[in-house]
Amino acid sequence: MQWNNRSYKGYSPQTYNDGTLKIYKKMNVAEDGDMPDEQLILQDKLRYEEQTLGVTRYFAAMQNKKEVSRVVRCPRLEKLTTAGKDSPIAVLNDGSQYYIEFIQWPKEITPKSMDLTLVRSEHDYELA
C-alpha cells in the first residue's frame, strides 16, 4: 500500500482533529405516571473534523424552514439514523447541543466517514 500525493487509489485520507463529538439519545427517565422528564443518554463518542457549510446546503435547509448551524465529518456509524423530532443529539467540545438533521456518506474518503448536518437545539437537555 503506497500513498502518493495524499491519496491511495483515488481515496483521500481523512483526519478528525477538531475535537470530540458525543452522540446522545433522548430518553424519558420519569417514573411511570410522573410528568415526562427527557434526558440525554450517551450512545457514542467520536472524533470529528469541521466541514464547510456550503451555500447550496444552507439555502436548501432554509427552504425547509431549518437553520443549519454546522457540518462535521466523523468516522462512520452504520447504526446512526435520523428520525425527525427523535433525532439523536450531538454535543460538541464547547457543550453546545445540536439535532443531527441529515447524514451523508461521502465516497472516496478513507477511513469510511459520515457528514452530519447539525441544527442548534431549541433548548439544552440535561445530560445523564
Looking up residue 103, the CATH number of its domain turns out to be 2.40.10.270
Cα–Cα distances (Å) from 34 to 29, 31, 50, in that order, read 10, 5, 40
What pLDDT tens digit does each residue of the chain (128 aa) get?
444 445 555 566 788 989 999 999 988 888 888 898 888 899 999 999 998 876 665 556 555 656 778 899 999 998 888 866 678 999 999 899 999 988 989 888 888 999 998 988 888 887 76
DSSP annotation of 30 reads S
The total number of structural domains that make up the chain: 1
5: in domain: no
67: in domain: yes
